[in-house]
Amino acid sequence: MKKILFVTSEAHPLIKTGGLADVSGSLPKALAELSQDVRLIMPKYQAIKTYGDVRFLCSLRVDNRNVNLLETQMPDSQVTVWLVDYPEFFNRPGNPYLDGQGDPWPDNADRFALFCRIAVEVAMDRAYLDWQPDIVHCNDWQSGLVPALLSLEPHGPFSVFTIHNLAYQGLFPAESTQGLNLPGQLWAPEGLEFHDMLSFIKGGLVYADHITTVSPTYALEIQTPTFAYGLEGLLRHRKDNLSGILNGIDLEAWNPETDPLIPQHYRAKSLLDKQHNKSELQRRFALPINGRVPLFGSIGRLVEQKGIDLIIDCLPDLMSMPMQFVLLGAGDKAYEQRLQNLAHVYPDKMAVILGYDEPLAHLIEAGSDVFLMPSRFEPCGLNQMYSQRYGTLPIVRKTGGLADTVVDALPETITNKTATGFVFNEASASSLLEAVKRAMILYSDQKTWAKIQANAMNKDFSWRHSAEEYLVLYRSL
């Protein structure tokens, strides 16, 4: 049995801003179910939702500050959660990283440096909890200083650092290092310095014993200038200690046989029941109820990364075909406006709801025939996996986790029963349009379509599968 300290700045259902929280909520649980001893450590924000008792564990004095450590549980699991309680830094309203205006808190470097120091004290058993991990598993820039500080400890535990999205690096002006009391030997270009800035993520990339990303293809992509934001040289240098392990999905929350948020349950053997969800989805978006035309769905942030501009550029062509399109999302105001204008022009063919709505997201996954996800880059992605589980065939660009989870419907993959969706290469509207046309042609052959749906619904995207891969990695260190 391995003792694992899981260091993260957010974890679902305690607090969530994005995919990191989904991983931090699910992976420790899946490891615990494989009989590992997992403890999760994170800051105690004002907005955190705790479940059950929260008890005081101990006080630590770090950088002339008295910091309390509290203990609670992850709901429905054996995972202990330790909360770093320092009100001056973490007891603030709203988002963990941003103020009310949506700007990063000006003292984020101090806040997360303190969090990292406490994690190191716990990892070295200097919190006197009578527990020392074999592995410290850190996630994204907020925990990046942990491997760096551990590298200075004699007889410290092994460290693993997971990149969830390299676009976020935790870069701060060099002068912010003054107050952080960072050991001098870490401040160098081969250490935490990045073009005269302090880079939190470099702490993980330089000093961790092993680096992982959330999909095998993304692990290769971040060794190239297009995806690495100036860190490709460092990542190529560390390629022997870099690998990708695909995220899983929550198979209980996303299960068409039991999902409480959809009107009609179904499975691969009763795909006709999926039609009820399609009719309900058409009703919810005020589109003509029609079982014969394919219904395309999309959910997500309306930003360039997600390829929403490719969808918008295609829409006039798509609207000339016998199809319908529904979208749920929010983001760039210019994209929101263009989508609303198009929905106004084609009221019988497309509809848009701005914002985020969890029950509606489930209905879109269950009621659509095709899911559009043409991301420019996607470290892992979840919706393409949800879609397959719901028998909704995804159209994705060949990048990151999308390339690793969707098998293109080609004559040979249809024959050998591995096809689960449609994949295109180039980030252009014309390439996306070609993929849509292929999907339209296949949709007209309902017998083949149903076979591909069954392939998709039978794929194993469980967290258990991912946890087993992490366990193999931990044991190899």
Which of 362, 291, 283 has the alpha carbon at shortest distance from 322?
A: 291
pLDDT value at position 381? 94
Pair of tokens at residue 358: 């969890």
Q: Is the pLDDT of residue 88 over 80?
A: yes
Which DSSP category does 326 fall into? E
pLDDT value at position 178? 80
For 315-355, the pLDDT digits (tens) are 999 999 999 999 999 989 999 999 999 999 999 999 999 98
pLDDT value at position 164? 95
Please state, in angstroms and rounded to a whole number, the distance separating the CA atoms of residues 46 and 472: 36
* Alpha helices (H) along 151-224: 200-207, 216-221
Q: Is the pLDDT of residue 65 over 80?
A: yes
pLDDT value at position 91? 97
pLDDT value at position 17? 87
pLDDT value at position 237? 97
pLDDT value at position 285? 98
CA angle 32, 96, 359 (to 5 degrees): 70
pLDDT value at position 251? 92
pLDDT bin (cut points 50, 70, 90) of residue 11 is very high
- Domains of the chain in start order, with CATH, are 3-248+464-476 (3.40.50.2000), 268-457 (3.40.50.2000)
**Residue 381 CB contacts under 8 Å (≥ 6 apart), including other chains:** 215, 373, 375, 396, 400, 401, 402, 405
Of 103 and 425, the one with more pLDDT: 425
Give pTM, 2 decimals: 0.92
For 156-204, the pLDDT digits (tens) are 999 999 999 999 999 999 888 788 889 989 999 999 999 999 999 999 9
Q: Is the pLDDT of residue 403 over 90?
A: yes
Average pLDDT, the chain: 96
pLDDT value at position 134? 98
pLDDT value at position 469? 97
Output Rg (C-alpha) for the chain, integer angstroms.
23
Please state, in angstroms and rounded to a whole number, the distance separating the CA atoms of residues 122 and 60: 10
pLDDT value at position 101? 87
For 15-64, the pLDDT digits (tens) are 998 889 989 999 999 999 999 999 999 999 999 999 889 999 999 999 89
pLDDT bin (cut points 50, 70, 90) of residue 144 is very high
In residues, how long is the chain? Answer: 477
